[in-house]
Structure 1
Amino acid sequence: MSRLSAAQRHVSRPLALALIVLMMGLALSWLVSQLLVRTEQRALEVRFRAEAQSVTGQLARSVAQDLGALRAVSRFMALSTSVSASEFGLFVEPYLGTFGGMAWVRLEPALGESRMRVRYAEPGGSRGGFVGTDLTADPTRGPVLRRALQRRGPATSATMPLRGDYIGEQGFAMAIPVFRPGNDQALGFVWGTYRLKLVQELLTRLGEEHGFVLALEDEGGKTIIASGKVDQTGLSTYFQPVLIGDRALTLRVNAANGFVKKGDWIDAASLWGPGILIPALLALLVYVLANRQRYAEALAASRARALTQSEQRLRRIFHAIDDALFLVDARWSVRKANQAGEALLADWRVEQGEAVGAFAGVAAQAGLDEAITALLAGGEPFHLDRVIDGRSYAVSGVPVARDSAEFDDVLIRISDQSEQRRTLLELQDTRAYLGNVLDAASRVSIIATDAKGTVELFNRGAEHLLGYRADEVIGSASILHFLVDDEVDARTAELSDELGHAVGRFEALTLVAERNGMDARMWTHLTRDGILRQVELTVTRILDAQGAHVGYLCIGVDTTERRAAEAALIRRDQLLSKLSERVPGLIYQFQRFPDGRAVFPYASDGIKAIYGISPEAAAADAKVVLERIVAEDMPALIESVEESSRNLSLWRCDYRVDLPQRGVRWLRGESSPERQDDGSTIWYGFISDITEQKKASDQIALLASVIEANSLGVLIVDACAADMPLIFVNSAFEHMTGYARHQVLGKNCRFLQGGDHLQPEIETLRHMIAERRTGRVRLRNYRQDGTPFWNSLSLTPLTDSQGRLTHYIGVSEDISDRVEAHHALAVSEEKFRTFFESSPVGMALIRHSDGHFVDANTAFCQLLGYGVGELRATTLAMITPPEYAAQDSELINELYRQQRYGPYEKEYLHRDGRRVPVLINGFLMPGKEGGQGLAWCIAEDISEQKRLQRELEHMSITDPLTQLYNRRYFNLVIEREVGRVNRSGVPLSLLMLDLDHFKRINDRFGHDIGDKVLQHFAELIRRRVRATDIFCRLGGEEFLLVCPETDFAAAEQLATQLLQSLRDEAFEVVGCVTASIGVTQYQPFERIDEALQRVDKLVYRAKDQGRDRVAVA
C-alpha cells in the first residue's frame, strides 16, 4: 500500500502543476478576446459613419442632378421669346423619364389675384386633359405655386399619387418660378412631378453596394420610402438631412448584416481555438518535463532487453548458417564453431578441442596456413577455392576485433561448392546450345541485359540490324545506346506524368515489362551508320532458378520497310482526303444495281455540307440522300439519271435539296457512268452548291434590266477577241446612235467615228485600252444618218479571278447640248460610276483558338491595308468592330458544329480606321500548327454593292433635276403623317405650287434655261420652309409642300410669304417668275386622294383668277 501511495503522489504532483498552468492560460485568452472584440466594434462604428456620409453625398448629388432638369426648363422658358407646345415637348422629352410629367403654368393677370393656368403639359402636348386647368384654387398644387412665387425659388409639395402613365407610383409636385432677365414680374412656373420610384431604386442600389438599409423620412419622422427591413447589428443609426426643393427630408442609414460581415473582422469565437490549444500544449509540456526521469529509466531498461534479444538472434543465425564457420584465435585454437563446422571437422576426421593449435590440422588439410598466418599478421581478407577428397570448397577469412586482446580473432568460412559447380557446368553447356540457336535467328534481334541494362547477349540478328559486333558491346554497352534519346526522354516523361513520380531512362524501357511480365511497342533504333530503323521491340524479364530477377530479354523485329509501305499508303489516302476537303463540294461514287438498290461506295467529307449526312450513312443506303431532294425536282432528276444509264452519257443536272439546318439549297451534279460486270452502273462525279450562283444570276438579271432601262447608253466589248467586237448594247445606245442592236453586235466601235479619225481623244482611248485602265473621254461620233453628236464615254476594264482582261464596259452619254458647259459636265461626271467592278476575293488562314492570322493573300491584305507580316501579328478581334463579337462567337460555334460557316455579311476595320463591308465564308482546316486548329476565311469586298444600294435607294426617292423628294417619297411619307393626324389630332396642311407660264419659258429660252429655273425655284422654296416640312416635285413645274403640325392659318400665311419671295427674286435670264398656290388642311380620317384633288383644284382656281396668287379652301 505504501508503494502504491508513492506512485500516486509521483503522478499527482505533475498533474496538479499542469492544471494550474492550463487555468491561467485560459483566463489570459478570455481577456485578450474581450479586448479585441471591443476594439473592432469601435473600428466598425467609425467605418459605418464614414460610408454613411459618402452614401448621403451620393444621394444628394443624384437628387440635385435630377432637379436640375426643372432649372434647365425654367431657363429655356425665361430666355425664349415664344415657345410652342411642340417646342416645349421636344425640350422636356429627355427629362420625362425622371419626372412623371412636366408642364408650363402661365401666370395670367386678373382682377384680384393672378390666375395660374396650365398652358402646355407633357406627356399630352397642348391638348392633354391637364392643359387649361386653373391651379390657383387647387388645394394641393396651388399652395406649392404660391410658395414658389413667394420664395422666388423651387417649392415642393407633400407626397402625392402620380397620374397618367405612372398610376400607382408616388412622387413630389415641384414648381420653379420663371423670371425674364431684368424683370421682377414672374412669367409663369415650370411644373414637374418627381418620381419617388427613382429615389427608391437609387436607395436600393446604394444599400446593396454598401450593405446599408436606407430610408427617407418626412419632417414628422414618417418613413416615405425604404430600401428594406432594418437588421439588428448593434451599430447606431445615422441621420442626415436631404433638401428637395424647400422641403428638408431626413435620410436614415442603418447597417445591414452584410455590412457587418464585410471586411476581415476577427470573431471572438475564432480566438478560443488557439486560446485553449496553447495553454493545453503548455500544460502538457510541463507534465512531460515533470515525468522525464521516469521515462528515462524505462528507456534504459527497454534498450537492455533489446540488446539481449539481439544477441540471442545473432547466436541462432550463427548456428543456422549452412556453411561451416570457425572463430580462431592467434594460437590457432577454435574458440567457437557452428553446427556445420562441427560436422565438417567430423567429416575430415579432425580432433576438436580448445588446445593450442587445434585448428592447425584443418588449415593443413585445406592449405590455409599461409593465408591465416598473413591475416593474423594484419593482412587483407582472403577467398580461396580448394578441392578436398574430390569435393570443391570455397574458403574465406576475415579478421574479427576482440576487446582487451593483443591480437584479433579470425572468422573462417568453408562452403561446399560441389553441387553449384556441377550446375554451373551444365548451365554453360546449355548457354552454348542456346547461343547457337540465337545466332541462327539472323533476322531477329535478340539482346539480353543484366538488371541495370548492360548488354550480356548480342546475337547475329542484332549485329545485322545495328551494325555492331557482339564483342564490341557485350559487357560495355547499354541497351539505351541503340535507342533514340528523344524517344526515350518522351517515354520517360509520359510514364512520370502517369505514375506521379520520376522515372529513370532505363525504367522507361522496362517498367511495363516489370509490372506485366512483357512489354511490346515500337522503338526507333540507331544503327552504327547513323540510320534510323523502326523496330517492334518485345521486352521480358529474365528470372533465375529461384525466381529472382537477373535481367531483361529484348527481342526486336525490324519493321522499317513494312512501315514505310504503310506510311506511303496512308499519305496517299490523306492526300486524297485533303484534296477532297479543299474542294468546295462533294466527290463521290454512285452505284445503282439492276434490282433498284443504290449506294454511295465513296463520298468525300463534303457530303456533310451538301446533304447534311455522313459518308457512312450514304455508303449504307442512298435513300438517305434521295430523301433530301425536293419532291418537285425528283422527276427531272430520275429522268436524267435514266438517260445517262441507258446511253452511258455524261450526267448533269441542277436540282434542290431541303436541309434541316440550312434550308433549301441549289446543287449541280456532273458525273460519268461506267457499266460493271454484274450489270450495275457506277457514276464518278462531283456535286457542288450553286445556291449563291443562282442568287448571283438573279442579281445579274436584275442589273441587266436596270442597264436596259437606263437612259445612258451601255456597251460591252469582248477584250479577248482580236478586233474587240461589241457583244452587248442597251436600248439607250440604239436610240442615241440610230443603229439597231443586230447591226452593231460583232463589230468594233470604230464605225461611230465616221471619217473623223484624227481626234486626239481617240489616241487617249487607245492608250487606256493598251494600259487596261479606267477612264473617260469625250468623242465626236456619228449616228447612222450621218449627223454628229458628242459622246462622253466612260470605259472600265474587267478581269477574271486570275487578273486576265476579259471585257470592257462602256457607258455613253449624249452631251451635244452641253459641250460648252464643260465645268458642269465635269461635276456631273462624278455622279456616274461604273456599273460593274470586279471585286478581288481575299483569303486568310486563321488559328481559330485565339483568332491570330497565320497567313493571308495579297487581295486580303489590300482589302484591309495591311502587309502579310503585320497581319500575322494581328488577331481577328482587332480588325472586327465590337458589335460583331456575338456574331463571331456564333460563327465559331457553327465552325465547330458543321466544319464550315457562311456566307455572312459583316464589316472589318481597315488600317486607316474605316469600315469595309465584306461577304465571308469559312471552313475548318483539319491540319494543325503547334496543336492549334486552323480555319480558312474567304472575304469578298462588297463596298461597291452597298454603295450602289444606297445610291439606288436615294435615287428612287429623289428628283434628279431639283434634288427634291419625288412623288414616290411623297406616297411613302404621307401615310405616316396622315396616321399621326388620325392618332393625335395635330394639324396637317398641304400647299401645291405651280409655276406660271413655264411652257413659255421653255419655248422662248430652251429647256436648259427651264431646268435652271426649276432648280432655282426649288432652292428658293427649300430655304424658306422648315426642316420638318416635306417639299416634293410631283412632275413638270408642279410641286407639293407638306407641313406637319401647321394649321390652316399658318399654312395660308406661309403661302403668302412664298409668293412674296418669288416676286422679290430675279431669276437668271428670264427675270421674275411667279406661281399659283393652293392651300388646304387635311381633315382627320379623310382620304388623302380627296385632299390632293381639293388642293389641285385650288391651284387651277388661282390660275383662273389671274395667277400669282393663293387659293384656299
Structure 2
Amino acid sequence: MFTVEAPQITAPPAAGLRDRAVDASALAFLQIDRSGVIRDWNPAAEKLFGWTRDEIVGRRLADTIIPAPLRSAHNAGFARRLVSGDSGGLGHPMEVPAVHRDGSELSISMTVDALGDEGFFAFISDRTDGHRAQQELQRSNTLITAILQHTTAMISAKDLDGRYLFVNGEYERVFQVTAADVVGRAEADLVSASVAAVGRGHDEQVIASGAAKTVLEELPFGDEIRQYVVTRVPLTDPDGSVHGVCTIAIDDTRRRRDEAVIKAGEQRFWNTVNNAPGMLYQFRMEPTGESSFTFVSDGCRDIYQLEPEQIVASASTVLDRIVEEDREGFAASVAESARTLEPWDWRGSVILPDGTHRWLYGVSRPHRDADGAVVWDGMLLDRTRERHTELDLEAVRHDLADLVDRLAVLSATAPAETEPARPLAQLVTDDDQEALGDLWRMALRRERADGILAGRDGRLLVRLRPRGADEISIACFRLDGPA
C-alpha cells in the first residue's frame, strides 16, 4: 500500500493580492502618508498624470498634481483633517481639478479613504473629456441663448397644434408680450384671425412636407403694414418625425422701402440721362489702343440713327462715320487728351446711314483707371442747325460786304495810327475834321464809332470798327447827292 500526501495549500499574502489588484486596476491609485508625501502609485496613475512610480514616490502630493492656485487651500484642508480627525467626504467621489506633468489641466473624480496611521489612499478616474464636453455644451448653450435673445429676427417654436413652445426677446419686443404670456397659446391669440390663418397654413405645409419654406408675409401694426421674410423649419425627432415648427421672421419693411426709393431715384436718373439733349457717353481706350463705348444714352438714336446696344457692341459704328477731312483732327485730339488728361473738345462732322451730313460738338473729361486705360465721360451734341445758321450768316456777311463795297464811297482797312487815315480825312470838310478826330479816337480805344459828317460832295455816314490789335475798318457812305 502506498499513500499520497495531499499538497499543502497556503493562502497568498493579502498584501500581494492587493498590489496585483491595484496594479491591474483601470483606476489610478495613489497613497500618501500623513505628511502628504506620495507612497504608492499604480500604472493607471502613471498614465493619467505622466509621472512614473519611481519619479513620483517621495514627492509631495500638493506640489505634484494639485494646480498651483489651489495648493494653499489643499494644504490648509489637509492639515485640518489631520488635527480634527474629520472624516467628512471620505469614501465619496468628488470632482476636483488636477494638473498633468506637462502642465495641462485635468478634471478628475477622486474617492479618498483613510489608512489609519499610514495616511490616506485614493482611487481616481479621468473626467477631463466629459468636463470639457460639458463646458463646450454650456458655452454652446450660452452662445445660442445670446443669439436668440439679441438677434433682430423674431424667432418662435410651435408644436403640431400651433401652440407656442418658445419665443425670443425680439418677438417679445415687437408684440409687447412676455414669453410666459405666449407659451402654450395659439397665434390667433396674438394677431388677427386672417393673419393667423395664413401663418397656420404655412406651418401645416412645413409639417406635411418636412421641408423648410420661406415666404413674404405682411403684418398690420396700427396704421402701418410691415413686410417680413418668414422662414419656417420643421423640428424633428431623432427618427425624423416632425414634432413642431421653428419660425424665423426678419423685418424687411425698411429695406423694401429703401429699395423702392432707390428704384425711383434710378428711374429719375435714367429719365434725366435719356432726355438730356445730345448723347451722354463713356468712352474707354485701353493701353493697347483698343477703344470702346461702355455706355451711351438713348440720345444716340437722334444723333446717329443707331441703338445704344449697337454702339456699345462696336465703337466703329460711329467712329467710321466721321468724314474723311475730320478724322485726322479727331484722332489727334483724342491722343492729346489721353496723354495730358486735359478735357477733350472736338468739332467735326459725320455721315449718317441715310447719307445725311451732320455737324457734331463733343466735350468730355478723362481719367486714368488703375489698369492704365483712359476713360472719358462726356456729351456729344448735334450742332447741325447751328452750323447751317453759321453758313447762312457767313453768306449774308459775304453778300453784305459785297454790297458795302459797291455802295460805299470808301471801304478800307487802315493802321490804327494817331491821326485819321488820309483817304478818309480827304472826304470830310475842314469844318468836321475835329468831329472825325473824335470818332477816330473812339476806334483807337477799341470802341465802335459811327457819325454823320459833312463831306465835300454832301453828307457822309462814317463807320469805324476796331479790327485785330492794330487796325481799323473804315466804311463811308454818301447820304445824299452833291451839295
TM-score bracket for this pair, using the shorter chain length: 0.3 to 0.5
Q: TM-score by structure 2 length?
A: 0.43
| Higher relative contact order (Cα pairs below 8 Å, separated by 6+ residues) | 2
Q: TM-score by structure 1 length?
A: 0.21
Structure number with the higher helix fraction is: 1
